Structure 1
Amino acid sequence: MKRNNLFKSTSFLRVVLLLSLFVILLIGGFTYRHISNLTNSEEIVVKTYNVNLELEHIVSYLRDAESAHRNYIVTKDRFYVNTYLNAKEKVNRAFLKLEDLVGLNSNQQKNLTVLNKLTDSLYNNFSKTNAFVTDNTTNTETFKTLFFEEKIIMDSIRRQSNAMFDLENKLLNEKQNEYQSDLRFTPLFFYLVLLATLVLIIMAYNKISNDLKKIKAKNDQLLIFEESTNQSEIIGKHGNWVWHIDSNKFIYSDNLYRLLGEEPQSFEANFDNFLKFVHPEDVDKLAEDLDNMIDAEELPFVNYRIVQKNGSIKHLKAYAKSFYSADGQKRLLGNTSDITDEIESFLELEERNLELERNNKELSAFNYAASHDLQEPLRKIQTFISRLEEKESDKFSDPGHQYLDRIKSASARMRLLIDDLLQFSRTNKPDKEFVSADLNELFENAKQDIVEIILEKKAQITSDTLPRAKVIVFQMQQLFLNLLSNSLKYCKKETVPIIEINYSKVKANDDPLLSKAPKSFYHKITFSDNGIGFDQKYAGKIFDLFNRLHNKQEYSGTGIGLSICKKIIDNHQGFIFAKGEINIGSVFTVYLPE
């Protein structure tokens, strides 16, 4: 129903717009034409009339001056001198008016200049003849000549004024002809203007029609967006609100009511009604935060609790930001989320962390027992075995000697296992102090720890120059020691062990093994040997704790050494990979972040 009303209103507005434009165009055209015609006619007529009038005034004033001068010659009465002198002042004022009237017309300006000179010549002639009147010598030939020149000058003035009069009339006629031409062109001009205006109106109409279609499409999209927003609020357990600060008016979204455990729009949206749901212990704090909202442009997150009518307590988190509308009114746009599940998950996580902390303490106690309490009885067992060998070995039978050797071997493996567990425990809880260290020096220290084995097996070890890096010193030295020991342990019989250590700095994007690495550059160190190798299918399990690929009767060990290496590399946020071929050798690749 609303849409039909909208379209009816739009159609009505279109009709009104077209009629209004047509009427305004019609009235404006007629008004402009008549006013323009009247104005032009009036200006031309008035100007021509004023020019002719001033010319007649000048000629009249000069005639009066001529008549007064002749009376002076006849009567010698000074009264007539003042008369033609006063006429000169009137002529000058008329000349000033003519200068304004002719304006930029160069022909009339020239004519006016000539007329002005003739007027000056006439008054100069008056001055010359006055001398003869004063001396009573008017009967001389010179006087008669001057008197005759006066008549000639006056005739020239009449001709010049007539020429200006004729020129002005000529200009008037030309203007009238132009005016008539304009009158003939005006209907066509206004018709073309009318057509152009109608075209513009049609274009405007089409534009309005297209805009309305776009607005309709946008409104449909807004309806979809509004519904999507409502569904998003329900799924995301949040609601929005707007506070018009100047009018103290609130607008709540439907889902904000649902967060309070109420039906949408079931009560008037205002702060007092909202406070009824707030937990009594959080009312004062929330009221204070609301006061801060008015002055602050942006409000940080505010956490508080609400109590629903069924007694359920929910944890809410609110955020608001102020903005100004087009009319300058300040408003607060806020969003409130239900974080009850997050709070409960956090509390559960805290409980699990406490449980984990208790388990870690128990594990630490076990590690202490493994590294101290278990070693003490083991040392006694090995001590008594040593005494049996020294003092009672000659009394044992052959099976007895075998049993004794097996006891010795088992106790040695037990000691090695305890030492490896202790070492793994140390790497599991590392000293987090990273220092800049020379890896070459740490590598040499690791070699010195097993120098007897290296000499015994005549191993050949070559190494590139390693860089300085920020590492945990004792762990990095343990890494080198374990990798070297691993290569020496699993060397082929009757073959000289050859171990090569190579170094390069690589970019993570250029190395396929580092496609998901968080850093950009890494130190790449590879340990290659010519030992017995291993099947590549076990490469993913070789770093698992207690994992062994070979029989313990063939090769000693606890299966912890490579697990320690993996743990050390993890502590340095690096990577370690293994690659092997049976009876060819193994390659361990270490990546340390630069």
Structure 2
Amino acid sequence: MDFRRIISSTKSNKIVLAVAIAFLLMLSSVSYKQISNMQKSANLVAVSLKIDTEINNLFSKFSLIEAAEYKSIILKNSAYNETYKYYIQLTENSLSKLSQLTSNIPKQQHYLDTIRQWRDSLDISVTKLNAYQNRLLEDRDSLITKEVNNVASIMQKLKQARLDMTQIKEALIKQRMEDYTTETFFTPIISLLLVLFSLVGFVLAFIKINKDHEKLIKTQAYVDNIISSSNNAITYLEPILSTDNKITDFTISYVSNKIEENTGLKASEVTGKTISEVFPSIMTNGVFDIYIKCIETGKTQTYERCYNLMNQEKWFKSIATKLETGVNVTTIEVTKDKRNNENLKNLNERLYIKNTILNNAEVVAKIGSFSRYPETGIIEMSDNLYRMLGCKPNEFEASLENYMSFIHPDDLMKFSKAADRNLKSEKLKETYYRVVTNKDQIKHFKSSTVLIMEDGKKKEVGVVQDISESIKKDKKLKNRNKALKRSNAELESFNRVVSHDLQEPLRKIQMFISMLSNEAKEKLSERSIAYFDKIDNSAGRMQMLIKNLLNYSRIDSSHANFEIIDLNKKLDKVENNLSDRILEADVEIIKSNLPTIKGIPFQMEQLFNNLVSNSIKYRNLNKKSIIHIDASVVSKDQINAEFIKTHKNYYEIIFSDNGIGFEQENAKKIFNIFERLHQNTEYTGTGIGLAICKKIVENHHGFIQAIGEPNKGATFYIYLPI
């Protein structure tokens, strides 16, 4: 047993202290009792001496009464009667004092009662003697002699009572003197023991305090070492009270050196100052109220706050505890934990969103997922896989047997073989089968499974897709492909007819009209000549329409002939081809550097040609015509046009003019084939030019839109993917 540990333990110290205090109190009590007894004995001895004195005084009065009475008889003089009465009164006073002094001595009280009776008898006899002396009676002498004898007898009894009282008094004095001697003997010894014990206790207490002081110094050094090496900043705050005892501020009485790392302030710089002076934000961010609540309720308060320290936002977690009259605050920086928690929270939110998206995606895409552990037979199915079978999530226990109960009987053997095959290979396997749902619907499923290893165990992971609609669409697509092939064949036949069979009669019509016009021109009237001109113009328009229609039909979406194209060169070629028209119309073209793209050269040339021709055709005759051509790179987020943007960045090519413009409500109509906003008498054309532009841009996965305003011009925006 470790006695040192027991002796030095706090519990043992408390027990020893309690025993020492009890023993000290006992000695003090005994000492006090001894002193009290000694005082009591001294008082009793003094009372005994007073009793002795008073007894002597009493019986001396009786002796004086006897002597005075005898003197009165001898001298036959009754003048001593007054003296007698005086002595009688003195005896009464002595008896009263003796009665008080012997109140706790029953025997003495008994003798006093007897003495009072004899005194009364003496008074009667003395009264008779005085009466006999003043009368002349025959038997006067005999009566006096009788009463004298009676007085003598009473006096003898009084003397005997005195002897008895004296004996009682002497025995009592002897006993009290013995008690007093005993008390005076033990009282110094007990007092000495009390002093010795106190001295021993003082020495032991001094040794204990000295050891505790040394231990306290070591403990303080140990605590200081812990505090200095701890990540916590320790602060002790003492409240500052107003005149009405309200807390108005706190003084920083102690702060650990950790504060310098957290705030950049040294402990010596802030000790003794107020928190409103060092950390003014505490007075407004609720922390000051927390300190007050901690002091008023005595309950520990925990809180977190963010501070801007050393040009950084730092989070701190603090615990405020009431200590004596102040507040002890333990603070630790939790910035990293806060950020990690925030990141974890954001990650959980993103994970939740992704899971939600995945679940929604399963519903939208009509897919479900499952996982199977071959060794244990455990299967996990997604909620949507249950729905795909016409059941509620978790409506039945997920197992291979229960799932196979939904397989179409004709596909059951194929599915069973595929399930066994998938467990023997780690490659992705696909299985097609039909199921009969809980609502008796037949659906076509496609399972894609792969075998993986998880914690050293095999796990089959699969995705099930409802391809019923796809199969229906495949059938429709096959039918449409057949119809499309027929349409393409018919279109090819039409192109041949347009390019050969229709143009041949037009050429003959134009040739014969020209010949007839040259031969019979002089014989025809002006009206007939006008008719011939209209026929010739109509034949020319018909030929141009057929030519444009052929151009439109020949634009396809094939990318096999995409090439690197410098659009600057294509624009230069277009300007050269249209130079006569540009010069005739006095059109100025202002252009910036155009990009180099991948595309079909002749289509891009036709695009530029149609747009420039369109601006020349619809120019404003009342002012000089100017065409601006500009290009830049924009992100898809910068494009306001509504179309499906499949690329991150696009080339934006802008064609703008100051021509007659158009109403914005017709912005989409102008790109329709054969759609024209003006009559042939105003502006010639077939209404195919802008339709060709739209088809060329879409063929290059781009988008074209037009913005116009009457009499102010039109602007065409072309977006081509980079």
- Contact 1:508–1:515 at 8 Å: present in 2 too? no
Match for residue 684 of structure 2 among 544, 556, 561 = 556
1:412 to 2:543 alignment? no
Distance 1:398 1:324, change over 3 A: closer
Matched residues in 1 for 2:540 and 2:503: separation? 11
Partner of 2:674: 546
Distance 1:254 1:408, change over 3 A: closer
Matched residues in 2 for 1:469 and 1:253: separation? 47
Match for residue 472 of structure 1 among 600, 611, 635 = 600
Residue 540 of structure 1: how far off its partner (Å): 2.2
Distance 1:320 1:590, change over 3 A: closer
Distance 1:279 1:537, change over 3 A: closer
Three-state SS of the structure 1 residue aligned to 2:423 is: helix
- Contact 1:531–1:583 at 8 Å: present in 2 too? yes
Match for residue 318 of structure 1 among 439, 447, 460 = 447
Distance 1:177 1:287, change over 3 A: closer
Partner of 2:550: 422
Distance 1:266 1:573, change over 3 A: closer
Matched residues in 1 for 2:539 and 2:553: separation? 21
Matched residues in 2 for 1:356 and 1:381: separation? 35
Residue 287 of structure 1: how far off its partner (Å): 4.3
1:489 to 2:617 alignment? yes
1:535 to 2:663 alignment? yes
Residue 269 of structure 1: how far off its partner (Å): 9.2
Three-state SS of the structure 2 residue aligned to 1:527 is: strand
Query: Quick check: 316-325 or 344-353, which moved more?
Result: 316-325
Query: Quick check: 531-540 or 561-570, which moved more?
Result: 531-540
- Contact 1:536–1:579 at 8 Å: present in 2 too? yes
Matched residues in 1 for 2:359 and 2:591: separation? 66
Quick one: which amino acid aligns to residue 528 of structure 2?
G
The C-alpha deviation readout for 1:218-277, integer Å capped at 9, x for no partner, is: xxxxxxxxxxx9999999977777655235687999998998899999999987898798
- Contact 1:242–1:250 at 8 Å: present in 2 too? yes
Partner of 1:304: 433
Residue 455 of structure 1: how far off its partner (Å): 2.7
- Contact 2:390–2:437 at 8 Å: present in 1 too? yes
How many equivalent residue pairs? 380
Q: Which has the larger radius of gyration?
A: 2
Quick one: which amino acid aligns to residue 423 of structure 1?
N
Partner of 1:439: 567
Distance 1:394 1:241, change over 3 A: same
Three-state SS of the structure 1 residue aligned to 2:486 is: helix
Residue 487 of structure 1: how far off its partner (Å): 1.3
Residue 538 of structure 1: how far off its partner (Å): 1.5
Three-state SS of the structure 2 residue aligned to 1:395 is: coil
Quick one: which amino acid aligns to residue 293 of structure 1?
N
Residue 386 of structure 1: how far off its partner (Å): 0.7
Three-state SS of the structure 2 residue aligned to 1:557 is: coil
Distance 1:566 1:308, change over 3 A: closer
Partner of 1:500: 628
Quick one: which amino acid aligns to residue 522 of structure 1?
Y
Matched residues in 2 for 1:564 and 1:246: separation? 65
After TM superposition, list the pairs within 5 Å mapping 1:33-432 onto structure 2: 176=3, 179=6, 185=12, 243-246=372-375, 286-296=415-425, 299-305=428-434, 314-320=443-449, 330=458, 332=460, 334=462, 336-429=464-557, 432=560
Distance 1:430 1:185, change over 3 A: same
- Contact 2:372–2:459 at 8 Å: present in 1 too? yes
- Contact 1:508–1:514 at 8 Å: present in 2 too? no
Partner of 2:110: none
Distance 1:230 1:572, change over 3 A: closer
Quick one: which amino acid aligns to residue 581 of structure 1?
E
Partner of 2:137: none
- TM-score after normalising by structure 2: 0.45
Matched residues in 2 for 1:231 and 1:419: separation? 52
Matched residues in 1 for 2:380 and 2:650: separation? 55
The C-alpha deviation readout for 1:69-113, integer Å capped at 9, x for no partner, is: xxxxxxxxxxxxxxxxxxxxxxxxxxxxxxxxxxxxxxxxxxxxx
Query: Quick check: 421-430 or 303-312, which moved more?
Result: 303-312
Matched residues in 1 for 2:451 and 2:622: separation? 82
Quick one: which amino acid aligns to residue 444 of structure 2?
H
Matched residues in 2 for 1:464 and 1:233: separation? 50
Matched residues in 2 for 1:468 and 1:242: separation? 51
- Contact 2:628–2:655 at 8 Å: present in 1 too? yes
Three-state SS of the structure 2 residue aligned to 1:421 is: helix
Matched residues in 2 for 1:474 and 1:361: separation? 25
Identical aligned pairs, as a percentage?
41
Matched residues in 1 for 2:640 and 2:361: separation? 40
Quick one: which amino acid aligns to residue 620 of structure 2?
K
Quick one: which amino acid aligns to residue 603 of structure 2?
Q
Quick one: which amino acid aligns to residue 454 of structure 1?
I
Query: Quick check: 496-505 or 531-540, which moved more?
Result: 496-505
- Contact 1:323–1:330 at 8 Å: present in 2 too? yes
Residue 567 of structure 1: how far off its partner (Å): 1.0
The structure whose RCO (Cα within 8 Å, separation 6+) is larger is 1
Query: Quick check: 469-478 or 454-463, which moved more?
Result: 454-463
Three-state SS of the structure 1 residue aligned to 2:670 is: coil
Distance 1:258 1:509, change over 3 A: closer
Match for residue 704 of structure 2 among 559, 576, 582 = 576
Distance 1:264 1:568, change over 3 A: closer
Residue 451 of structure 1: how far off its partner (Å): 2.3
Unaligned 5+ segments in structure 2 are 16-357
Residue 294 of structure 1: how far off its partner (Å): 1.8
More helix by share: 1
Unaligned 5+ segments in structure 1 are 1-173, 189-228
Three-state SS of the structure 2 residue aligned to 1:553 is: coil
- TM-score after normalising by structure 1: 0.54
Matched residues in 1 for 2:547 and 2:708: separation? 27
- Contact 1:244–1:331 at 8 Å: present in 2 too? yes
Residue 442 of structure 1: how far off its partner (Å): 0.7
Matched residues in 1 for 2:649 and 2:390: separation? 54
Query: Quick check: 260-269 or 568-577, which moved more?
Result: 260-269
Quick one: which amino acid aligns to residue 301 of structure 1?
E
Partner of 2:168: none
- Contact 2:568–2:594 at 8 Å: present in 1 too? yes
Matched residues in 1 for 2:384 and 2:591: separation? 68
Residue 383 of structure 1: how far off its partner (Å): 0.9
More strand by share: 2
Matched residues in 2 for 1:393 and 1:463: separation? 48
- Contact 1:432–1:472 at 8 Å: present in 2 too? no
The C-alpha deviation readout for 1:304-336, integer Å capped at 9, x for no partner, is: 24589999864222244557788x765546564
Quick one: which amino acid aligns to residue 662 of structure 2?
F
Partner of 2:651: 523
- Contact 2:633–2:649 at 8 Å: present in 1 too? yes
The C-alpha deviation readout for 1:496-538, integer Å capped at 9, x for no partner, is: 4332322333333334347963333332222222322222222
Matched residues in 2 for 1:258 and 1:461: separation? 64
Partner of 2:167: none
1:567 to 2:699 alignment? no
Matched residues in 1 for 2:599 and 2:627: separation? 23
Match for residue 457 of structure 1 among 585, 592, 610 = 585
- Contact 2:661–2:708 at 8 Å: present in 1 too? yes
Matched residues in 1 for 2:707 and 2:360: separation? 53
Report the aligned-residue RMSD. 4.4
